[in-house]
Copies of this chain bind each other. A is one copy, B any other.
Amino acid sequence: MPPVTTLPKPLQRLIQALERLPGIGPKTASRLAFYLLRAPEEVSRELQQALAELPSVTYCQRCFYFAEPGQTLCPICQDPQRDHTTVCVVEDPLDVVAIERTGLYQGVYHVLHGVLSPIEGIGPDDLRIRELEARIPREGIQEVILATNPSLEGDATAAYLAQRLKPLGVKVTRLAQGLPTGGDLEYADQATLARALLGRQPVE
């Protein structure tokens, strides 16, 4: 029997490389590969250049958000205008971008780079928790705002952090949970509605 006709090697390799990305299955990978094959050369070139530059991304040595190339601290940690006694603890760098976008936060950050997840084998030592503890006396931090996601794992991580940080004599707070603005009470899930009820605020 003659060998089954296959795609050219470079195309096969590209499909395989794309399949390794999360959420990209064989069908999507071959659709993307065929697109790249036919697209203007610059589409592929820009992607290659961006991938090649990726290792130049470095993290802030203090808060583990991104630092500019050649810098040890991120722009936020370097900013003397910020309140360096308040630290907002988040899971991921994108959370910093989201909070900065509100324009309401004047403190600094600490990026954990993940959440506690026994199922995935992620324990306290896999996150930047030790570094957070060390910052509290060293930087004279007064308040730690726990801004991990309002998910099972985010809540568990926040509870763990609260226990571990309180003995250090620092105020520990958690972002408010309740109905999302613009949401519809009728369509709110049970857990959200329960949180909104339990956390109800006096109207002044």
Could you list which residues of chain A lie within 8 angstroms of chain B, going by C-beta atoms? 1-2, 4-11, 13-14, 16-18, 20-24, 28, 30-32, 34-37, 39, 41, 43-44, 46-57, 66, 68-69, 75-76, 79, 81, 92-94, 96-97, 100-101, 103
Q: What is the distance, in angstroms, from A171's C-beta to the closest C-beta of chain B?
A: 24
Inter-chain CA distance A130–B6, complex, in Å, is: 26
Inter-chain CA distance A109–B69, complex, in Å, is: 53
Known contacts A46-B20, A54-B36; A96 and B5 CB within 8 A of each other: yes
**Complex contacts, A30 vs chain B, CB 8 Å:** 94
Known contacts A44-B54, A51-B14; A34 and B92 CB within 8 A of each other: yes
Q: What is the distance, in angstroms, from A201's C-beta to the closest C-beta of chain B?
A: 29
